[in-house]
Structure 1
């Protein structure tokens, strides 16, 4: 399925597709990363609130949150911050200060130093493009990522960070603005077609409940890396108990990025 507004069959789209395919058609493994509580050790949406006056939001604003509609809530939060005089540089510097999760920089170094045919690295997050790009650039990790899928966010002329939903979907499990399984399925299908062959394995590194939905689509050769004792890990464990055989992927829980490196070393050595 084509993105809205993307030319379905223009020569430009075709040449871009064939260029990107030739660059990375030889990758053996595809690895997806979540952002909040996975790459960084906090939730970026919570961190940005610390840029507000008094480092917290008024009760009336918090009360507007409705389950399943977090994206719309964050749109209001960002509008409020702008009204309170919080600037682009304030938001950027608050993002840049977020610590990486333990071992994550080691994991990034491992991926960067592998032969180029090993890993295609993709980021998949329900945060937003501005928060993620700000953090990755500061960490020097932006070039590692082949693609970033997140809610689009750009500053308008009034200096407000305007957030939009990523897409619409029919999944009952996920928030209205993003189903990560839809993104994973479409990306893997499109890249497999461009490459002319599947990846040896697909890996997914995450932590949250919304990282459970995408790993349900993985097969028995693929690897799910849930952060130990976080919601994604608990949901995988519960699924194994309640519906044996339903969850196909190999599960490798991690507390540090170094745990992920250890397993990836084994995979590339096969």
Structure 2
């Protein structure tokens, strides 16, 4: 499965190696103000899933559950255009489009922008292209999703890993570590800082790998933020990155302005 992830990365366009910073974004409830997997249920008959299907979910195996959900939707006649229409209507989180505009208008040497999400490539690409934000991202790492000849959206796991904290199909810390290591080898030098913008428990795992010069933008009062607070209280000094809670992404812009001015 790891081979799939690396193949996806290798097929992406060339990235200039002169960026000062790298900034990672989660998608669900970070870039968009909903969870895309929940929103696709709006395409189901009656806009809900039957209990027998919901009862098949097993903790840590959400990707497998979503494969069954997408199969059910296909059986109910839900089309690619139905799903895309729902994805395109998901609202951005407050201030996120302002943050995107800030990143777009920075000099080319400032930010390498990467998306890491446990959603899927079809949902993410649909939303980004509708909002005109696709070109901002140098890489998108998510679970591969493509339509087969019968019109069913086929979802696959991103990779396999050994992290006990994360769902079996994706550990964002493994992803972030491998990507940053590879990019630093290509560049021949480190980034000045790494930024990470997220909200969920699966965003906490990669954040623990960041250093004291790096900055984690944790959506205020969401699981990632609560886990960081709990870690600081239980084991002071273990979580090393600077934490900046945010409710509106304008707060992220304000902090980034300070760092680019250094």
**TM-score of the pair, normalised by structure 1:** 0.93
Shift, 1:146, TM fit: 0.2
Shift, 1:6, TM fit: 6.6
Equivalent residue number for residue 186 of structure 2: 194
Equivalent residue number for residue 209 of structure 2: 217
Equivalent residue number for residue 3 of structure 2: 3
Equivalent residue number for residue 203 of structure 1: 195
Alignment length (residue pairs): 259
Query: Is the alpha carbon distance of 1:4 and 1:62 closer, same or farther for their aligned partners in structure 2, counting shifts above 3 Å?
Result: closer
Root-mean-square deviation over aligned CA pairs = 1.5
Residue among 47, 64, 67 paired with 1:72? 64
Equivalent residue number for residue 126 of structure 1: 118
Matched, 1:249 2:261: no
Residue among 37, 45, 48 paired with 2:40? 48
| Cα-to-partner distance string for 1:42-86 (whole Å, 9 max, x where unaligned) | 000000001100000000000000000000000000000000000
Query: Is the alpha carbon distance of 1:5 and 1:77 closer, same or farther for their aligned partners in structure 2, counting shifts above 3 Å?
Result: closer
SS at match of 1:261: helix
Give the distance between the partners of 1:122 and 1:50, measured in 2 at CA.
28
Where does structure 2 lack aligned partners over 5 or more consecutive residues? none
SS at match of 1:71: helix
Matched, 1:182 2:164: no
SS at match of 2:115: strand
Give the distance between the partners of 1:133 and 1:221, measured in 2 at CA.
31
Equivalent residue number for residue 226 of structure 1: 218
Query: Is the alpha carbon distance of 1:4 and 1:80 closer, same or farther for their aligned partners in structure 2, counting shifts above 3 Å?
Result: closer
Matched, 1:239 2:231: yes
| Cα-to-partner distance string for 1:136-169 (whole Å, 9 max, x where unaligned) | 0000000000000000000000000000000000
SS at match of 2:246: coil
Shift, 1:24, TM fit: 1.7
Equivalent residue number for residue 31 of structure 1: 23
Give the distance between the partners of 2:164 and 2:5, measured in 1 at CA.
26
Equivalent residue number for residue 144 of structure 2: 152
Shift, 1:3, TM fit: 3.0
Query: Is the alpha carbon distance of 1:269 and 1:6 closer, same or farther for their aligned partners in structure 2, counting shifts above 3 Å?
Result: closer
Give the distance between the partners of 1:207 and 1:87, measured in 2 at CA.
30
**TM-score of the pair, normalised by structure 2:** 0.96
Give the distance between the partners of 1:24 and 1:198, measured in 2 at CA.
14
Where does structure 1 lack aligned partners over 5 or more consecutive residues? 8-12
**Moved beyond 6 Å, runs of 4+:** none
